[in-house]
Chains A and B, each alone.
Chain A
Amino acid sequence: MMMNHSLKSRCKVAPGTVIIGKWHSNKYTVLKELGYGANGIVYLAKFKNTQVALKMSDNGMSITSEVNVLRSFAKVQGSTLGPSLLDVDDWKSNRGQISFYAMEYIQGPDLLTFLQNKGKSWTTVLFLQLLNDLNTLHANGWVFGDLKPENLIVTGPTPRIRCIDVGGTTLQGRAIKEFTEFYDRGYWGLGTRKADPAYDLFAVAMIMINTAYPKRFNKTIGGISQLREAIKKQKDLLLFEKVIVKALQGQYTNALQMRTELMSLIIDKKNHDTLNKSAVTNTNSTMQKQKINQSGMQQPKSRQTYRRKRKKNRWMETIIITIFLALLYFLYIFQKLL
């Protein structure tokens, strides 16, 4: 009835297998395996000439639990949180009853592969998108939980980041259902496993670090010091250091705060680049202004005296020239007279 003694999967099926639902009688033809996790296997399947993703598990509970999450996402208007749910059913295989659900097939490379192929310039855009989605998710009372690059797919043609595995999605205030150590704040000794928005934001920061360390790294001393050290060693990360560290320390209470600061970092950086050439003169003049303010009344005084000096000099000039011209004139008259 309920015993799954080993996590080895009963739901492994070969391509070409036809799966017919027990309750709704929809017919799916398995094309290939897309991935597997602790809770089951995801297949690409054909349903009436469209491609869908099928998640199968011998653990009916986890299927029901995920379906609950997806149903609740569907109620959020205009949201792109997770894939949309198409069907839930059971399949009577020769190895027993297997629960499954069909969902929209989200096609594309995972986050790290995408960044490797398309270049680092996409990093910020995708993270801004992700933080926006997370904000909606959090506003609806959920925490994604098992946030990691493998669960983030970048779809096209206009790159858009999507979360695909809702197995770890937990109601806020409860204990995180499922996590992956590297992205888990509990593992690094930087917080609890109670589901709150900051839990996801910690994972986002770890994914940012992950973009510079595609192979991840192991915990040595743990804590914020090891992670700070890792950030310092990578030029690409230094740019985001402020935001990453704040997220790691749980200083953002919602995704929008983090998004805003990430955005301002990027905009500041761009300003820096364009201003670089004119920056020298600009900063010089501003520096002068500052100096004037700092030294108070002395500076204007000395300026006035300088001006006065210049005025005197000008008078001297005219007098000398007039005298000189007068002398020449006298010489000329003397010559004419003699």
Chain B
Amino acid sequence: MYTGKIRQILLITDGCSNQGEDPIAMAALAREQGISVNVIGVMEQDVIDEKGMTEIEGIAMSGGGVSQIVYAQQLSQTVQMVTRKAMNQTIQGVVNRELQQILGRSQTIEDLPPEKRGEVMEVVDELGETVELEVLILVDTSASMKHKLPTVKEAIIDLSLSLNARTGDNQFAVFVFPGKKNDVEKILDWTPKLQSLTSIFSQLTTGGITPTGPAIRTALSSFNSKRSLRSLMTGDDESFLEESM
């Protein structure tokens, strides 16, 4: 029944944006396009300030995704958990809509008696295993992130290990912000494998500003250009995409 893809942006940051558009608005824009935005806030010993925290939660909320604040050491595990959880959320959203169509009312999984939920859950699990997944990873490379970058790299490669254990296909792309010349720089184009990231990451330079909003906006256009390319090749792809969120 569900042939669409799941599209996610995974934002890894350690604080507040300070340049360009409001990232919360950009996350809402993403959601409108059927792309969920998940945020991971990385701490060291320092605690993320109130303002940064509010922004992180705000982005995830308006982006229809999940957010989590972690210490750098626990990053790998959290990245996979957040991605999986967000994926299940999206699938559940779709399943809920299907249920509403069948049952005709504002029924969701939660409105079913617990005994009946089990079967629905099996469908959700099955989809989580087989659905095509596109994750665009957006890494904050502002100065304060510098010494956390090796851990971030590990976590991203680890994520590909987790997701590639699924039966369904995965596509990853990695963007960093701020880039060398622009606000955002693409360092790895859509690919199912992330191993090549190791060499790229060691050459990264960190910069001063944190243009989170523009970064999300640019990330969206990357999904879009991919979409138009795909739809040129396979024509009917577009109809699935409308359904993907």
Contact = CB atoms under 8 A, between A and B. Distances in A.
Contacts of A192: 161, 164-165
B81 interface: yes
B166 A5 contact: no
Contacts of B121: 61, 64-65, 68
Nearest to A97: B110
B175 to A, nearest CB: 23
Contacts of A174: 125, 129, 165-167
Interface in A1-15: 1-7
Nearest to B84: A177
A109 interface: no
A179 B77 contact: yes
Given A23-B114, A71-B118, A88-B114, A186 B89 contact: no
A4 B65 CA distance: 8
A174 B131 CA distance: 12
B110 A60 contact: yes
A89 interface: yes
Interface residues of B, number: 41
A90 interface: yes
Contacts of A67: 114, 117-118
Contacts of A64: 109, 114, 117-118, 120-121
Interface stretch (B12-20, B42-50, B56-64, B232-240): B56-64
Contacts of B64: 3
A38 interface: yes
B108 interface: yes
Contacts, number: 96
B124 interface: yes
Interface residues of A, number: 38
B113 interface: yes
A194 B165 contact: yes
Nearest to B91: A61
Contacts of B84: 177
Contacts of A195: 165
B67 interface: yes
B161 A6 contact: no
A61 B92 contact: yes
A203 to B, nearest CB: 15
Contacts of A68: 118, 121-122
Contacts of B76: 181, 187
B68 interface: yes
Contact of A4 (B66, B77, B117, B120): B66
Contacts of A180: 77
A187 B161 CA distance: 9
A193 B125 contact: no
Interface string A1-43: 1111111000000000000000100000000000000100000
A175 B96 contact: no
Nearest to A178: B81
Contacts of A166: none
Contacts of A23: 113-114
B6 to A, nearest CB: 14
B41 to A, nearest CB: 10
B115 interface: yes
Contact of A193 (B69, B118, B162): B162
A5 B57 contact: yes
Interface of A: 1-7, 23, 38, 59-61, 64-65, 67-68, 71, 88-90, 97, 99, 171, 173-181, 186-187, 192-195
Given A38-B81, A60-B109, A99-B110, 7 more contacts: A2-B93, A4-B85, A64-B118, A90-B110, A90-B114, A97-B110, A174-B125
23 contacts: A1-B96, A2-B96, A3-B89, A4-B85, A6-B60, A7-B68, A23-B114, A59-B85, A60-B109, A61-B121, A64-B117, A68-B118, A71-B118, A89-B114, A99-B110, A174-B165, A176-B162, A177-B84, A180-B77, A181-B76, A181-B77, A186-B158, A186-B161
